[in-house]
Amino acid sequence: MIKIWNMKAKEAAAEKKKPKTSAAQIRVQKDLSELEIPSTIKLEFPDPSDILNFNVKINPDEGLYNGGRFAFTFKINNNYPHEPPKVHCTQKIYHPNIDLEGNICLNILREDWKPVLSLHSVLVGLQYLFLEPNADDPLNKEAAEDLRQNRSGFASNVKRSLAGGALKGIQYDNVLA
């Protein structure tokens, strides 16, 4: 009889040591299970047991950024879905909506975030930034001004920067696939 009580006590102690699944983890699991993304977006989980931190690669197959491979980190805190994921571009790229430090200007990652939005919404929004850069809400004001003033010059600058070229004294990362 004592053995049974000891076993029960050990089971209870082991159960207490298990990390509890947070509401954010449950929601991210749901978002990931329902995710339907195009072949131009790839998710990578450096630590498969940590679904709140992962990497995303976007390879646009059309538009000015066609041929580039863009890397992002996603960090989701325990207030998700009440707060948006923290998304950061890991490369130095020439884009009106991504600054040189990798910060991203996407309205649903800031003021327009709502808990009904999902990871799918963020991924589609990121991909759309490469198809239609937005010069009206820039983080990189020089790139936005180039886009507004001279679209063909902007396209030329994008092409040069994708290959790791320098523009106005700034060296960009080679992101060609």
Active site members: 105
With beta carbons less than 8 A apart as the criterion, state whether 144 and 98 touch: no
Closest CA to 53 of 43, 62, 61: 43
DSSP annotation of 83: S
Q: How far apart are CA 142 and CA 139, in angstroms?
A: 9
Q: In a 3-state reduction of DSSP, which class is residue 89?
A: strand
In which residue are the tokens 């020439």 written? 94
Distances (CA, A) of 111 to 26, 101, 105, 106, 114: 24, 20, 11, 9, 9
